[in-house]
Amino acid sequence: METYQAVQAEIARRRELGVFASWGINTSCFTSKIKCGLCSASFVRNTRNNWAKTSQLGERYTFYGCGTNKRKGAHCSSGTIREEVLKEECAKVLGLPEFDEETFSEWVKKITIPAPGIMIFDFTDGTSLEHHWSRNAKKDSWTAERRKAVSEYRRSREPGWKCYNTFTHFIKCGHCGANYRVQTHKRVDGTIVRSWYCSSPTAAGCFKVGIREVTLKTLIADVMGLPDFDEELFNQQLAYATVPADNEIVFHFRDGHEASRIFVQKRQMPRQTEERKKHMSEVIKAKWRERHAKND
């Protein structure tokens, strides 16, 4: 009988404490206190490796998100919140200079997140408070030093679809306003050709005119009065360019003036090798013989 009563008491204790009853589970002051306002699930703590090339979050960062997203095939759009931001917002609500776990556990009963940027605090004294916050991590970290470091990193990379190019965000479509993106292809002779096209996939009536990078550099050198393209002077003087119509590009300088140029791009065919020339000659001769054989 004593064993039975002890077991029942332990069951009651675990039911009351919930996840806190097991010492083997890693818990915090936020465990089981943050609830999703959309699906009523608890927010869970997640730690991820930070793979960003330039970041102030360190090698690993921690955030809280709806536990529904942990289940296979399920999704909840309540959003996420980084742990340090959560502590900062809780400190603001409690009127503390910095977050204190004991004060939080004593005063806060539950936090409900009905939508990204909104937190409803239910306090232990029966009152509640709706608190709004905004995602400003990128704005806060984008200092002059960070901007310079990111710029140097991007310029040190080889051009490619995963990296920034000299003309990334420089050319705008004059019809739909979308940025131009680079497309790279290799010719038969092995040379690499890069061309820029409007990136909008849905703009109705957009003429999608493209411009080869070689042509673009020639036009930039022409409007700047230079014999050849100079990337440093280009960054100093030009702000952006627009393509308002087929075969026309307008360059907008940082001092406010504009310059328009018309460009005509002939289709460039790869140079034929000697083997290719010999093969095509044999093909033409064979067709000529076949045609005259039928006439005879």
pLDDT digit string (tens) for 141-186? 667 777 777 777 666 554 444 556 788 888 888 888 888 888 888 8
Separation of alpha carbons 205 and 191, rounded Å: 32
Secondary structure percentages of the chain, helix, strand, coil, to 5: 35, 25, 40
Instruction: Give CA angle at 151 (149, 154), nearest 5°.
Output: 110
- Ranges of residues in the chain with a pLDDT under 70 are 7, 10, 13-26, 52-57, 136-142, 153-164, 201-208, 266-272, 295-296
pLDDT at 93: 92
pLDDT at 161: 45
Separation of alpha carbons 285 and 212, rounded Å: 37
Question: Which residue, 225, 226, 210, is CA-closest to 167?
Answer: 210
Tokens, residue 128 = 């509640």
Question: Which residue, 184, 201, 203, is CA-closest to 193?
Answer: 184
Instruction: For 28-49, give one letter per residue: b (16+ CB within 10 A) or e.
Output: eebbebbbbebeebbbbeeeee
Are 197 and 208 a contacting pair, CB within 8 Å? yes
Tokens, residue 41 = 């699930």
